[in-house]
Structure 1
Amino acid sequence: MYRPSRLRLRTRAIATAALALALTGTLVACGSGGPAGPAPQEEAAPGFLTVAEAGDSTGSATIQVDYDTAEANGLDPQTAQTARSWMILGLVYETLVSVDENFEIQPGLASSWEQPDELTYVFTIDTSASFSNGRGVTTEDVAESLERLTESGGVWVGQLGPIESIEATDDTTVTVKLSEPYVPFLASLANTPAAVLPIEEIDAGEVDLATEMLGTGPYTVVEHRQDESWTFAANPEWREADSLRVTDLTLQIVGQESTRQAALREGSADLVNFNNVDSLTLLSDSPAARVVNQTQTDFYYLIVNSQQPGSPLQDQDVRFAINAAVDRQAVADIVLAGESSPTGVTPSNLPGACEVDALPSRQLSAEEAGQLLADGGFDDRTLSLLLYTEEPVLAQMAQLIQQQLAEIGVTVEIEQYDTATFTSRVFTTQPGDFDLALGWFAGYGDPSMVTRWWNPEIAGFNTGFTGGHDDLNELIAQGASESDPAARAETLAELCRTADEYSEIVPLVHRPSLIGYHTETLSPTISSNEGYGDFLRYIGDFAPLGK
């Protein structure tokens, strides 16, 4: 039986390691994948950019983030679609398992689990856990939450894998059986959409998850004003409530990056997130502000639409030439100031990810790409490149790609739209009404999870610009079912190469996540790598200072 150590014990070990590393001044790279990669950052402990100071101080904290949960989806964690929603809802809800700084599975509401065979998972539930109304968590809550998730129609259902049955075996265990092996199953349970819900209260009509939140996590909601703010209070029923040091939490939604920078500089915000890598230097003159770059598995990608009738992009050689002409390292270095690195289909900072330099497109020079384009009969048609205005860095990325493609004779016209128009033209219209488009994927916590989005039969959202390929789909399935690490790595490498050759969804570089905190008011714990966009993952350890 697998019985990992509890988070609190591990945190004490981290603090000890932090002291040792502080004395030696060890420097470690926080990402990998490209030949250069992001600039090395000093780690406070292996796998952590900063570790909260020890002590017993308690108090409040104010955090500013760029955007709120998606209002259209309400507050139901099972239908949450964005990383920001996952993080915010994760302050109230807990999952059966979690992931640590090395993407290894750790206990959550499941204190342990065993796998008697490759299709069966038996979870032992932590019977000390309670919802914030005081009712203890039952195995029925766990089993029916998973059942509800499989029937929810939410985006996360595609990550759960082939679940055959879910059963509350007795008062302490829940058994899940799969119809076929699925290696990322535990990782799929580590994200907020797989949270354990108060099924008894839901069935009784006492809780409406679209507008209310009732969970087992460290906080309860006091007030929420959509796109303005959240106010949270400590949950006295949380299993580790005695160690929670941020007892009152205010989350402010502040869209302007410059406003968040000013708030951090003056100390009206204790912790903020940034999307602009310039924040690393713009705040360097502030003695109390520190900004770190957490490497997330999220990555930017270029869509090359193969589904428009009569488009030259229906020719795989033409798409491959465009793929080969895009210099990913230049995107990382020029657009993202060296604070990112190239990636393939499997996020490069995950264990078992494929090697970017080995991809077929990386072997072609610009001259060879231009010749391949000519051989494919490209007729000098101007290609549209769509992006949405809500993420300014996409415009800079588009301009650089425009220049790179011009070198092989491709003229690109950049078109910027609001998110609704972009979504309509790229994801809703069949086939997609565009040639090229820029976006980003969440990368998750297992190298085979995001690969599922390359199969349009599973993803659904990409049928307007991606074709179905039996060989690629087989590799996607094999990468998710192969349990031998060496064989799995080989399969994933072949998957990356095959997807690279089809050149329909082209991974570019990791999406930086910059986190700033005021060193005189807050001491946070922030991991060097993150898979689910949750830079507040260790908020249970955050330490307020001078309050």
Structure 2
Amino acid sequence: MKKRRYTSLATIGLSVTLLLAACSSGTSTTGTGTSSAGTNSNPTTAPQAATSGGTLVVAAPIEPDTLDPQITTWLDNSNNQPYDSILSRDLQGKLVPHLAESWQVSDDGKVWTLVMRKDVKFQSGAPMTAESVKASIERFAAISPVKDLAGPIDKIEATDAQTVKVYFKEPFAPFANMLVGTFLAPFDPERLKEKGEKFGEAPLATGPFMNPEVKRGASVTYVKNPDYKWALPFADNQGAAHVDKLVFRFLKDDDTRILEFKKGTVNILQEVPSTYVEELKAIPGTKIETSMEQGMKYLGFNNQKEIFKDVRIKQAIAMAVDREPIVQYALSGFAKPIYGPLPPTIPGYSEKIENMAKEMYGHNVDKAKQLLAEAGYTDSNGDGIADKGGKPLSFELLLSDDPALQRVAQILQSQLKEIGVDIKIAVTDIATVKDRSTKGNHELFLLFFGLNDPDILYLLMQTNNSKRVHYSNPKVDELLAKGRTTMKEEDRMKVYEEAEEILVKDPPWVPLYVSESVTATRNIEGYKMNPFTGDIPFADISITK
């Protein structure tokens, strides 16, 4: 979605602003979903008895704009607590039931049939019905700023009290990914009728926490849903939360967040800067939790620029990059180098493609200089910068004011100078990076992308969607469109592998690394995160002190 534990498409640098960031954090384990039918093996698990209660406090770096998942520009654990997903993924990445007890896809891939559980109730006490599921999906398809992510929906029917049929104009395999997130979560129809587009002010759905109290600029506080008994399939506690309240405090300043954690006023500290990890480890009752993000950081080219139409220039830059110093010195070791178009945390990752990319673009200064010379760029005046016709090989590198990215940029600047490429670092805010890159007013940039489906390549590389790297390749377009309509998982992954091979040979970017997201927890037990969805079952967590 960055569900890194988030679902924000804002971070992938698309023309749309949502889905990636649950679109989520991942581990280094490779996982793939499935488009086949599934059944809930234990839909009536008895809830475990809650412990003593208390208030669980999470320090979150980003405050969402609304609690309505269908109109937000940032979806993560801080604003998805009132909701449940229709499907989920287990801890191995396999697609499994959640609010739907089973699902099936027609042979032609155009009809998805969802059979919903009978025992689920909204927080108001009203039963969840197929009609309410239908209404929520229709609302998303009508009003969401990222409604295209739901695919070419033709119509939706509630054929009985439990059964929903979603009809598509053409097969659309990525719909499984939408069912896993809370974009399509069922809403209480009476509250939706009452609040309309202001539903996010007082949401009612089926989730484990409810009745949010929002203090804009400061926090959001939820109370537990006492009747909850349909938790995520991988949750240990299938019943109501152990804690009475769940509070997300929005603390942007790193020093403030660290100080609050040290004082003991915060139980879970998300997005811990790597430079603080050793210091926090020494605090009694503290555990450090790490997970590989479901995406990667990359050095992007503006492929519309004439100079980047020469593949030798792009390949030379890729060969100049040495990822190990970046990981060790800029990120304190909390990352994994990556060479291919997809990281191991996204379905569609291919070890074959990764090895091919590593073989082609391992650090090789001599080969990089040779490619530049073949393209006509040599250091003719002895100033250390390659030039052609008197024009030096110089680029502006655009990036946000993230301290880690600035350290990465400085290392890249030094490495590219070794092959005679001059880099001028331009630090600005993330909104400016996105705006300039969308308009094509850039040369090189550093950004992140993530999504728990290989359809991310369609959103980033297909000619009409490539709004950051401005890439266009008819064969890639053909394959990425085919990937969307290939319903058999094994066949679908082969399509993406073929597209990835082209993206390695004709690189629109330089993949750099997969970040290792660091979370510090204190005086709690039961914390875990699903690496394939970014979900944290907060109902599992108990306060120990």
Compute the TM-score of the two structures, normalised by the length of structure 2: 0.81
Partner of 1:278: 275
Aligned pairs, how many? 484
Paired with 1:302 and 1:279, the residues of 2 have a C-alpha distance of 26
Paired with 1:464 and 1:440, the residues of 2 have a C-alpha distance of 11
Deviation (angstroms), 1:538:
1.3
Q: What SS is found at the alignment partner of 1:385?
A: strand
Which residues in structure 2 correspond to 1:385-534 (within 5 Å)? 385-389=397-401, 391-427=402-438, 429=439, 432-444=440-452, 446=453, 448-457=454-463, 459=465, 462-463=466-467, 465-518=469-522, 521-527=523-529, 530-534=531-535
Q: What SS is found at the alignment partner of 1:441?
A: strand
> Is 1:454–1:505's contact at 8 Å kept on the other side of the alignment?
no
Paired with 1:237 and 1:377, the residues of 2 have a C-alpha distance of 71
> Is 2:302–2:308's contact at 8 Å kept on the other side of the alignment?
yes
Instruction: Render the CA deviation track for 1:230-281: whole Å, top value 9, x for unaligned.
Output: 1111123433584310221111111122332232233211111124223332
Is 1:126–2:137 an aligned residue pair?
no
Partner of 2:7: none
Compute the TM-score of the two structures, normalised by the length of structure 1: 0.81
Q: What SS is found at the alignment partner of 1:401?
A: helix
> Is 2:463–2:470's contact at 8 Å kept on the other side of the alignment?
no
> Is 1:2–1:114's contact at 8 Å kept on the other side of the alignment?
yes
Residue 4 to residue 279, structure 1, CA distance change in 2 (3 Å):
farther
Residue 147 to residue 490, structure 1, CA distance change in 2 (3 Å):
same
Is 1:382–2:379 an aligned residue pair?
no
> Is 1:325–1:365's contact at 8 Å kept on the other side of the alignment?
yes
Deviation (angstroms), 1:305:
0.7
Q: What SS is found at the alignment partner of 2:317?
A: helix
Tell me, which stretches of 5 or more residues in structure 2 are unaligned? 1-36, 231-237, 378-386
Aligned amino acid, residue 322 of structure 1: I
Partner of 1:29: none
Is 1:214–2:226 an aligned residue pair?
no
**RMSD of equivalent CA atoms:** 2.7
Query: Which moves more between the two structures, 158-167 or 504-513?
Result: 158-167
Is 1:542–2:538 an aligned residue pair?
no
Paired with 2:47 and 2:372, the residues of 1 have a C-alpha distance of 54
Paired with 2:334 and 2:541, the residues of 1 have a C-alpha distance of 25
Residue 443 to residue 248, structure 1, CA distance change in 2 (3 Å):
same
Aligned-residue identity in percent: 26
Instruction: Render the CA deviation track for 1:344-380: whole Å, top value 9, x for unaligned.
Output: 3222134541232222642672221222122223432
Is 1:268–2:291 an aligned residue pair?
no
Q: What SS is found at the alignment partner of 2:335?
A: coil
Partner of 2:142: 151
Paired with 1:303 and 1:418, the residues of 2 have a C-alpha distance of 17
Partner of 2:293: 296
Deviation (angstroms), 1:168:
1.0
Query: Which moves more between the two structures, 194-203 or 297-306?
Result: 194-203
> Is 2:345–2:532's contact at 8 Å kept on the other side of the alignment?
no
Instruction: Render the CA deviation track for 1:4-60: whole Å, top value 9, x for unaligned.
Output: 334896999xxxxxxxxxxxxxxxxxxxxxxxxxxxxxxxxxxxxxxxxx9733322
Aligned amino acid, residue 79 of structure 1: I
Paired with 2:482 and 2:320, the residues of 1 have a C-alpha distance of 30
Q: What SS is found at the alignment partner of 1:79?
A: coil
> Is 1:298–1:531's contact at 8 Å kept on the other side of the alignment?
no
Residue 105 to residue 485, structure 1, CA distance change in 2 (3 Å):
closer
Instruction: Render the CA deviation track for 1:64-85: whole Å, top value 9, x for unaligned.
Output: 111211x3xx332123333xx3
Residue 490 to residue 470, structure 1, CA distance change in 2 (3 Å):
same
Deviation (angstroms), 1:300:
0.9
Residue 373 to residue 532, structure 1, CA distance change in 2 (3 Å):
farther
Instruction: Render the CA deviation track for 1:137-167: whole Å, top value 9, x for unaligned.
Output: 2212211211222223423x34333433321
Deviation (angstroms), 1:504:
2.2
Aligned amino acid, residue 455 of structure 1: M
From 125, 131, 137, the counterpart of 2:128: 137
Paired with 2:490 and 2:67, the residues of 1 have a C-alpha distance of 41
> Is 2:297–2:512's contact at 8 Å kept on the other side of the alignment?
yes
Paired with 1:484 and 1:96, the residues of 2 have a C-alpha distance of 21
> Is 2:298–2:512's contact at 8 Å kept on the other side of the alignment?
yes
Q: What SS is found at the alignment partner of 1:526?
A: coil
Partner of 1:358: 356
Paired with 1:188 and 1:452, the residues of 2 have a C-alpha distance of 15
